[in-house]
């Protein structure tokens, strides 16, 4: 499952069609740690690359721009 979601994020074919729960799990699998929640926003931090990810669902899906943001982090930092 992780590989399927990882590939979907990296390929960019379905940025607006990634389930939020799968997106959260992928972020954790990539080494981000949950820091805190403020309303519907969840904040994750990756100590190794000194980056934050602030994510929020749209219904049951991840926001497309946040998927693109994660793709940029993956490619820049070879995650």
Domains and CATH numbers, the chain: 2-77 (3.30.920)
Give, for 42, the enclosing helix (H) or strand (E): strand 41-46
Per residue in 12-36, pLDDT tens?
988 999 999 999 999 999 999 999 9
Tell me what the mean pLDDT of segment 45-71 comes to.
Answer: 96
pTM for this prediction: 0.92
The DSSP call for residue 60 is: T
Contacts of 44 by beta carbon, 8 Å cutoff, 6+ apart = 27, 28, 32, 33, 34, 35, 52, 53, 54, 55
Per residue in 59-69, pLDDT tens?
999 999 999 99
């Amino acid at each position: 499952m992780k590989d399927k979601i990882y590939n979907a994020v990296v390929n960019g074919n379905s940025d607006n069609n990634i389930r939020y729960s799968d997106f959260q799990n992928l972020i954790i699998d990539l080494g981000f740690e949950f820091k805190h929640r403020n309303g519907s926003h969840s904040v994750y931090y990756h100590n190794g690359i000194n980056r934050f990810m602030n994510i929020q669902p749209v219904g049951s899906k991840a926001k497309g721009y946040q998927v693109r943001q994660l793709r940029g982090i993956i490619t820049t930092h070879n995650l």
